């Protein structure tokens, strides 16, 4: 396996409203930032993650290419998934050995529509979508299946939002009130990561965040065919990525709801020694389709900054943590 490292990460200062920037305008600053950090202007491969349903416009990732300077032509691909899976594709592409660098980015503006019901459109069209099962409703089912104590859930939201307030890129949100399910905030934002293989990594930074493990697993889509109280696929992905082969100093988890964090901590077998979502996590900023990549970026940044030696990032897709990707990073 070829050694691949994250050598740069950038994200927007996310907003809780539509500032009116077009998607290329949203992306351009973070692309430019990682280009400046690495000194690279061209990449062996480029891959992005986004979802057309967020803006309600087809092929929005094509117009996003305007932010890349894609002439002369570049080698490019896209996933209609969180950009963490674009990172996975880029990592696989780098394993071919003929290129040494890759640019990965993701973006999403959830301010444009009603995210709660847009999320219904990802569901199976025969059995679930026609019922109008929405994001909060299926999350509510999973929370009920887990049955965690209210105080534990509230504490997760409180901690996430406090950490978010200390993170200049995340939103400034108050402590939770009331006893309902706390939804992740509506967020517009983008993020970019540069991967480098072989010698290029150490030429670009003295502290590359090496990807020591990277795996994703998926489970059945239909909610009535799984045990919603656990995430078998996250546990499998964590084992395949080798999370347990060493201590985990920091874990950035793609938990959009407090109960998801509890399920993921168990699936990844994280102990109390692991710092969870010091960035604030998705409960403090949730630019859908970039949220998972930001987890990888935040976990990498701890190593790039020299603060930590071994961190883990998790990304999720589908209803109720259906699809899970786990990355193990080491300095």
Partner 1 sequence: MPSDPLVAQHVLEFPGGYTRSTGPVVGRFLTELRERRIVGVRTSEGGVLVPPLEYDPATGEPVTGEYVEVGPAGTVTTWTWVEEPLDTHPVDVPFAWALIALDGADTALVHAVVPEHPKAMRTGMRVRPVWREQPTGHITDIRHFAPEVTKIVSPVRAEYRLRAGGSLAVFLAGVERGVLLGGRCERCAKVYVPYRTFCPECGGPIPDTLELPDTGTITTFAINNLPDPRAPEVPFVSAYILLDGADLPMIALVAGVPAHEVRQGMRVRAVWVPESERTASMANIRWFAPTGEPDVELS
Considering the complex, what minimum distance in angstroms separates the CB of residue 18 from partner 1?
A: 9
Q: Which stretch binds partner 1 (CB under 8 A): 43-51, 113-121, 154-162, 245-253?
A: 113-121
Inter-residue contact 84 to 314 (CB < 8 Å): no
d(CA 290, CA 211): 19
**Residues 10-69 interacting with partner 1 (rule: CB under 8 A):** 20, 53, 56-57
Q: How many CB atoms lie within 10 A of CB 230?
A: 16
Tell me the angle at which helices 135-146 and 258-267 cross, rounded to the nearest 10 degrees: 50
Instruction: Compute the half-sphere exposure of residue 307: CA atoms within 13 Å on the CB side of its CA.
Output: 11
Considering the complex, what minimum distance in angstroms separates the CB of residue 140 from partner 1?
A: 3
Nearer to partner 1, 80 or 249 (CB): 80
- Per this entry, what is the length of the chain? 331
Considering the complex, what minimum distance in angstroms separates the CB of residue 47 from partner 1?
A: 25
The number of helix segments (H) and strand segments (E) in the chain equals 11, 10
Considering the complex, what minimum distance in angstroms separates the CB of residue 207 from partner 1?
A: 43
Considering the complex, what minimum distance in angstroms separates the CB of residue 30 from partner 1?
A: 25
Inter-residue contact 279 to 167 (CB < 8 Å): yes
Is the bond into 127 cis (omega within 30 degrees of 0)? no
Query: Is residue 257 at the binding interface for partner 1, with CB under 8 A as the rule?
Result: no
Query: Exactly one of 96, 132, 245, 306 binds partner 1 (CB under 8 A); which one?
Result: 132
**Residues 194-233 interacting with partner 1 (rule: CB under 8 A):** 219-220, 222-225, 228
d(CA 6, CA 171): 25
d(CA 145, CA 142): 5
Query: Is residue 111 at the binding interface for partner 1, with CB under 8 A as the rule?
Result: no
**Does an H or E element contain 30, and which?**
helix 23-38
Query: Is residue 141 at the binding interface for partner 1, with CB under 8 A as the rule?
Result: yes
Q: Which stretch binds partner 1 (CB under 8 A): 123-131, 195-203, 251-259, 279-287?
A: 123-131
d(CA 188, CA 34): 19
Q: Report CA dihedral (23, 26, 28, 32) to the nearest 10 degrees.
A: -150
Considering the complex, what minimum distance in angstroms separates the CB of residue 127 from partner 1?
A: 5
Considering the complex, what minimum distance in angstroms separates the CB of residue 313 from partner 1?
A: 27
Nearer to partner 1, 22 or 207 (CB): 22
Considering the complex, what minimum distance in angstroms separates the CB of residue 54 from partner 1?
A: 11
Query: Exactly one of 23, 89, 100, 134 binds partner 1 (CB under 8 A); which one?
Result: 134
Query: Is residue 321 at the binding interface for partner 1, with CB under 8 A as the rule?
Result: no
Query: Exactly one of 45, 88, 138, 257 binds partner 1 (CB under 8 A); which one?
Result: 138
Considering the complex, what minimum distance in angstroms separates the CB of residue 117 from partner 1?
A: 6
For the chain, where are the E strands, in sequence order?
4-11, 45-49, 76-79, 101-109, 188-197, 209-218, 250-252, 275-276, 310-317, 323-330
x-or-dash pattern for partner 1, window 265-304, by CB under 8 A?
----------------------------------------
Query: Is residue 178 at the binding interface for partner 1, with CB under 8 A as the rule?
Result: no
What are the residues whose beta carbons fall under 8 Å from the beta carbon of 250, sequence distance 6 or more? 274, 275, 276, 278, 299, 302, 308, 311, 312
Query: Exactly one of 11, 15, 60, 120 binds partner 1 (CB under 8 A); which one?
Result: 120
* Interacting residues with partner 1 (CB under 8 A): 20, 53, 56-57, 112, 116-117, 120, 125-128, 130-134, 137-138, 140-141, 143-145, 219-220, 222-225, 228
């Amino acid at each position: 396996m070829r050694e691949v490292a994250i050598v740069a990460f950038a994200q927007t200062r996310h907003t809780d409203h539509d500032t009116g920037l077009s998607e290329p305008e949203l992306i351009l600053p973070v692309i430019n930032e990682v280009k400046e950090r690495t000194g690279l202007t061209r990449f062996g491969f480029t891959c992005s993650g986004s979802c057309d349903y967020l803006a309600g416009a087809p092929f929005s990732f094509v117009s996003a290419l305007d932010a890349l300077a894609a002439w002369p032509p570049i080698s490019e691909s896209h996933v209609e998934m969180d950009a963490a899976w674009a990172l996975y594709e880029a990592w696989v592409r780098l394993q071919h050995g003929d290129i040494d660098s890759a640019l990965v980015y993701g973006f999403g503006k959830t301010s444009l529509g009603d995210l709660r019901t847009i999320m219904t459109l990802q569901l199976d069209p025969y059995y679930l979508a026609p019922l109008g099962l929405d994001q909060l409703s299926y999350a509510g089912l999973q929370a009920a299946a887990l049955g965690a104590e209210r105080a534990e859930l509230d504490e997760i939201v409180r901690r996430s939002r406090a950490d978010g307030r200390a993170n200049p890129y995340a939103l400034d949100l108050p402590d939770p009130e009331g006893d309902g399910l706390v939804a992740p905030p509506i967020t517009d934002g983008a993020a970019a990561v540069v991967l480098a293989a072989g010698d290029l990594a150490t030429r670009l930074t003295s502290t590359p965040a090496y990807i020591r493990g990277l795996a994703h697993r998926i489970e059945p889509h239909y909610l009535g065919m799984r045990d919603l109280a656990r995430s078998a696929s996250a546990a499998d992905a964590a084992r395949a990525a080798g999370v347990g082969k060493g201590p985990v100093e920091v874990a950035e988890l793609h938990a959009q709801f407090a109960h998801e964090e509890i399920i993921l901590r168990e699936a990844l077998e994280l102990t109390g020694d692991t710092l969870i979502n010091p960035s604030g996590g998705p409960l403090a900023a949730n630019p859908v389709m970039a949220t998972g990549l930001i987890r990888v970026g935040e976990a990498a940044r701890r190593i790039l900054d020299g603060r930590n030696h071994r961190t883990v990032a998790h990304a999720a897709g589908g209803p109720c943590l259906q699809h899970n990707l786990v990355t193990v990073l080491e300095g």
